[in-house]
Amino acid sequence: MSQRAPAFPKTSARRPSAVWKVLTSTDHKSIGLTYMGVAAVFLVLGGLEALVMRLQLAVPGNRLLAGETYDRFLTMHGTTMIFFVLLPLLLGFTNYLLPLQIGARDMAFPRMNAFSLWLLVGGGLLLYLSPLTGAPSQGWFSYAPLSETPFTPQRGVDLWSAALIVGGYGTTLTAVNVLVTGARLRMRGMLYKRLPMFAWMSWINGFIILFALPCLTAVLLMLEVDRLLGAGLFTRGDPVLWQHYFWLFGHPEIYLLILPAWGLISEIIPVFSRKPIFGYEFVAWSTVAIAFLSFAVYAHHMFAVGLGWPVELAFGTTSMLIAIPTGIKVFNWLATMWKGSVRYTLPMLYAAAFIVQFTFGGVSGVTFAVVPIDWQLTDTYYVVAHFHYVLFGGSLFAVLAGLHYLYPKFTGRFLDERLGRWGFWLNVIGFNGVFLVQHLLGLMGMPRRVYTYPDLPGWGALNLFSTVSGFVLGVGLLLLLVNLIRSRTHGRLAGRDPWNGWTLEWLTDSPPQEGNFSQLPPLHSRRPLWDLKHPDDMDHVRPRRHDKNGHIREEERGHQ
């Protein structure tokens, strides 16, 4: 590539401020970190909303958030967490890590990348401006006709729709970027079968985003045609159409909120078990299977609608099928740890908690595939417990694992170990305390989406337990936040490759320089850094902590 002389030579003595740099950057690393920062702000907002809701539910007959006020908190909490916390967190990791892992200098379209970020931020701002015109109270699922003008007349719903459409276009453009980056910018020798697991899963995730988000855009456009122009597609037409389209987006959405998280876990577990991932091909191809099936299971959200027995059987079956590729992943992670030299550092602790909690959430998910059980449990707290186990206990814990894993790369410093462990245990205890008991409440028949409940035996005690645990969780996350800020300046220095990793991102400085790599090593296996460190033992089939004679390898001794 020829270097063009700058058209306007820099003459100003004033350097741009750090804030201005972040706002105008097109570097994928800066954009990735900004995504995470934005997500952190929304996590605080969404978390506070959740805590206020838990306060309301602490005792039966409470009137802290009576009636529609509760619905407003419910709507904001759900929308925030799904669209403006988990999504930007995962997009942040993808942005940061994907080019580094495939040996690229940046994403395929750096300027569009920045545009996507600011579209998402704009969406978030629209969402939090919506209360000014009457807070939306229709829930994040926005079921028509309840979301139509006669039932929810406030204009906030329109801003809510606009927020999701704007943010959704940001995400769609990111998916385009991810797909082209993965398809075109891989370094020489980085075949698809050698992609690091995170890169592989983020790339597949691009396809899900590409086909799931337009379903949301379409259905929101139709809702707004109804609300603003009086068309009546879902009132005089068919309200079930809303549910079909919404869940055609909504179910794949769940998978697009967890695929990159699985990718992070698939990076962390091998490194801290000192073994390559077990069954690479199975982990990779099960991702493709999940991408297809994620669309084929959507109607399991609608078993109570009355779709007819054949349809319900079909979707019940596909929903059970999707447990197979998901289970494959879980077993492969376990098999990777099996007989490995597991180091229980903070990232690994979070990864282990992820496996336990995600498996729990996955299994309770399978119970919904049994149609009669779904009829019994739908719209109870059992559902709430299930999806929080998957999205919080699964996805968010995986993100936290990834955050502890990559923090040294982001900043050049480790997170504080003691503070981190306190945060970890408070998070695990708090999280399970909040949601484990909600399974029981659901089985006892406590309905979801209602602001209060009668004083039935056990309900008050379990709800109080859930609320108290919620505050424990809040303290845990607060400690994490303190750790993130404090360790940036006070943390132990990490160096390039603090965990003795195998993928290309650990080859770069911490934090990596602009353009990422000064030079790239020849690539002929899935673990280029292993090859660099072991020129005598390249492409070793089962590289692990011990050598062929059973002795711990020299270079492994220094690492915890």
Which residues of the shown chain bind another protein in the complex (CB under 8 A)? 1, 108-109, 112, 172-173, 175-177, 179-180, 183-184, 206, 210-211, 213-215, 217-219, 221-222, 225, 229-233, 236-238, 241, 245, 248
Tokens of 182: 């993965």
Angle between helices 87-102 and 28-57 (to 10 degrees): 150
Q: Residue 493 gets which letter from DSSP?
A: B
How far is it, in rounded angstroms, from Cα 355 to Cα 333?
Answer: 8
For the chain, the first-to-last Cα distance in angstroms comes to 43
Tokens of 359: 């498996």
Angle at 405 between CA 253 and CA 493, to 5 degrees: 145
- Between 297 and 403, whose beta carbon lies closer to another protein? 297
Angle between helices 323-337 and 280-296 (to 10 degrees): 160
- At 135 the three-state DSSP class reads coil
Q: What's the chain's Rg over C-alpha atoms?
A: 24
**What type of residue sits at position 441?**
L
- 552, β-bridge pairs: 546
How far is it, in rounded angstroms, from Cα 31 to Cα 106?
Answer: 11
Angle at 455 between CA 452 and CA 457, to 5 degrees: 130
Residue 552's φ and ψ, nearest 5 degrees, are -65, 130
Burial class (CB in 10 A: 0-12, 13-18, 19+), 9: exposed
**What type of residue sits at position 448?**
R
How far is it, in rounded angstroms, from Cα 133 to Cα 156?
Answer: 5
Left, alpha or beta for 297 (phi > 0: left; psi -120 to 50: alpha)? alpha
How far is it, in rounded angstroms, from Cα 539 to Cα 531?
Answer: 6
How far is it, in rounded angstroms, from Cα 132 to Cα 181?
Answer: 40
Q: Which DSSP string do the residues of 93-127 spell out, in sequence order?
A: HHHHHHHHHHT-SS-S-HHHHHHHHHHHHHHHHHH
Other C-beta atoms closer than 10 Å to the C-beta of 331 total: 15
Angle between helices 259-273 and 397-411 (to 10 degrees): 70
Q: Which DSSP string do the residues of 422-473 spell out, in sequence order?
A: HHHHHHHHHHHHHHHHHHHHHHTTPBSS-S-----TTHHHHHHHHHHHHHHH
